[in-house]
Chain A
Amino acid sequence: MLKIENLHARVEGKDILKGLTLTVNPGEVHAIMGPNGAGKSTLGNVLSGRDGYEVTAGSVSFNGIDLLALEPEERAAAGVFLAFQYPVEIPGVNNTYFLRAALNAQRKRRGEKELDSMQFLKLVREKLKIMQISDELLHRAVNEGFSGGEKKRNEIFQMAVLEPQLAILDETDSGLDIDALKQVAQGVNALRSTERGFLLITHYQRLLDYIEPDFVHVLADGRIVESGDKTLALKLEEHGYAWVTDKDPALTGASA
Chain B
Amino acid sequence: MSEPQRMPFVESLLEAAAQARLPGSNIGWLDAARRENLEAFAAAGLPDTRMEAWKYTALRALGQRRFAPGDAQASSRDVDAAALALPGVDGPALVFVNGVFRADLSRLETLPAGLNLRPLSQALQGDAEPLRFALSRHYREGGDVFARLNAALAGDGVVLQVAAGVKIAQPVQLVFVGAPAEGDLAWHVRHVIELGEGAELAVVEHHLATAAHQHLGTQVMDIVLRKGAQLRHVTLQDAAEGSTLVRHNSVQLDAQAQAMLYVLELGGSLVRHDLHATLAGDQSRLDTRGVFVLQGRQHIDTQMAIRHQALNTASESVWRGVADGRSRGVIRGAIVVAQGADGSDASLSSKNLLLSGQAEIDTKPELEIYADEVKAAHGATVGQLDERSLFYLRSRGIPLTEARSMLTAAFCRAVFDSLPDENLREHLYQQLMAHLPSA
Contacts and interface: CB of A to CB of B under 8 A. Distances in A.
B21 interface: no
A101 B406 contact: yes
A98 B397 contact: no
B86 interface: no
Interface stretch (B55-63, B240-248, B282-290, B383-391): B383-391
Interface residues of A, number: 31
Contacts of B393: 90, 93, 98, 102
B84 interface: no
A82 B387 CA distance: 16
A162 interface: yes
A113 B402 CA distance: 19
Contact of B407 (A50, A87, A93, A105): A93
Given A49-B395, A93-B393, A105-B402, 15 more contacts: A50-B395, A51-B387, A51-B391, A72-B395, A73-B395, A76-B394, A81-B395, A88-B392, A90-B392, A90-B407, A91-B410, A92-B413, A98-B393, A103-B397, A105-B397
B411 interface: yes
The winner among B397, B406, B407, B409 for most chain A CB atoms within 10 A is B397
A81 B402 CA distance: 19
A102 B410 contact: no
Nearest to A91: B410
A95 B389 CA distance: 13
Contact of B388 (A48, A88, A92, A142): A88
Contacts of A158: 396
A241 interface: no
Interface in A58-109: 71-73, 75-77, 81-82, 84, 87-88, 90-93, 98-99, 101-103, 105-106, 109
A98 B398 CA distance: 9
Nearest to B386: A88
Contacts of A71: 394, 400
Contacts of A81: 395
Nearest to A161: B396
A138 to B, nearest CB: 15
B417 to A, nearest CB: 10
A102 B395 CA distance: 9
B17 to A, nearest CB: 48
Contacts of A87: 392
Interface of B: 386-389, 391-400, 402-403, 406-407, 409-411, 413-414
B396 A102 contact: yes
Given A84-B392, A87-B392, A93-B406, A101 B387 contact: no
B392 A76 contact: no
Given A88-B388, A92-B414, A98 B395 contact: no
A72 B394 contact: yes
A254 to B, nearest CB: 40
B313 to A, nearest CB: 30
B410 A72 contact: no
Interface of A: 48-51, 71-73, 75-77, 81-82, 84, 87-88, 90-93, 98-99, 101-103, 105-106, 109, 141-142, 158, 162
A25 B342 CA distance: 71
Contacts of A50: 391, 395
Contacts of A103: 397
B318 to A, nearest CB: 13
15 contacts: A50-B391, A73-B403, A76-B394, A84-B395, A88-B388, A91-B414, A92-B411, A93-B393, A93-B406, A101-B398, A105-B397, A109-B397, A142-B392, A158-B396, A162-B397
Contacts of B400: 71, 73
A141 B395 CA distance: 17
Q: Which of B386, B395, B399, B403: most chain A CB closer than 10 A?
A: B395
Contacts of B394: 49, 71-73, 76
A73 B400 CA distance: 8
A51 B386 CA distance: 13
Contacts of A162: 396-397
A105 B411 CA distance: 22
A76 B414 contact: no
Contacts of B392: 84, 87-88, 90, 142
Nearest to B408: A92
B397 A77 contact: yes
